[in-house]
Amino acid sequence: QVHLVESGGGSVQAGGSLRLACVISGSTSRWYWMGWFRQAPGKEREGVAAVYTGGGSPCYADSVKGRFIISQDNTKNTLYLQMSSLKPEDTAMYYCAADPDVIRCAVTAVYGYMYRGQGTEVTVSS
């Protein structure tokens, strides 16, 4: 079993930055695909970014490319999402997700990953 806990959400003005963190615990002795997806009120879920903890290039949604960076610290079992140049449309609940058996990097698959956290809220005001 895998447990994910997100942190780092908050309120920020447009143009500002936030860094989200996701600590993974439990059966962490293997590599995982990990990622972030978000859901705003009244909107569909949107995959944001994904990466394989064993190495390789991450993938991003077009809406966040050049502004968000996904990274991990395997020594701390932690996944990060550095968000810069935030826009009001980035306002959403952000979820961390993990799955050991994903074939390739595809942000549209992140919200279908096997494990997910409870989410952390991000609000961007104009």
- SS3 for 63-96 is CCCCCEEEEEECCCCEEEEEECCCCHHHCEEEEE
Q: What is the pLDDT of residue 74?
A: 86
Q: What is the pLDDT of residue 118?
A: 97
pLDDT tens column, 52-94: 988 889 999 999 999 999 999 989 999 999 999 999 999 999 9
Closest CA to 34 of 86, 111, 87: 111
pLDDT tens column, 106-123: 898 998 999 999 999 999
- Rounded to an integer, the average pLDDT of 16-38 is 90
Q: What is the pLDDT of residue 39?
A: 97
Question: Taking the alpha carbons of 95, 96, 99, 102 in that order, is the dihedral positive or negative?
Answer: positive
Specify whether the CB–CB gap between 34 and 50 falls below 8 A: yes
Q: What is the pLDDT of residue 9?
A: 97
- Rounded to an integer, the average pLDDT of 12-41 is 92
Mean pLDDT across the chain: 94
User: Each residue of 45-66: b (16+ CB within 10 Å) or e?
Assistant: bbbbbbbbbeeeebbbbeebee
Question: Taking the alpha carbons of 31, 33, 38, 44 in that order, is the dihedral positive or negative?
Answer: negative
Specify whether the CB–CB gap between 59 and 76 falls below 8 A: no
Specify whether the CB–CB gap between 32 and 55 falls below 8 A: no
pLDDT at 29 over 80: no
